[in-house]
Amino acid sequence: AIGNYSVQHCLEYGNKSCRAELTNMVLNHFREFALDPNACGVVNKALIHGPPQQRMMLAILIASDLRTFLGMAQMQK
């Protein structure tokens, strides 16, 4: 639970390659991150601070997966 804050910090303040690698990890494990009460903050930071192309891919994943989107919305985070 505490580790997600470190990952969020890296997404916000890390160098380009670090942000790209972390955002890629979020893309590869989207559902697990999006539906976890602790990891959903990492998804948020990836959407804000990830590389533009990866942010677009993540946004498309969220929009195209109604069940996951609704699960994220119910967590209110």
Write down the domain spans for the chain: 2-75
Q: pTM for the whole thing?
A: 0.87
Tens digit of each residue's pLDDT (9 = 90 or more) over 50-72? 999 999 999 999 999 999 888 88
What DSSP string runs through the chain?
A: --HHHHHHHHHHHS-HHHHHHHHHHHHHTHHHHHHSTTTHHHHHHHHHHS-HHHHHHHHHHHHH-HHHHHHHHHHT-
Average pLDDT over residues 23-37: 94
**b/e code 47-72 from CB counts within 10 Å (16+ = b):** bebbeeebbebbeebbeeeeebeeeb
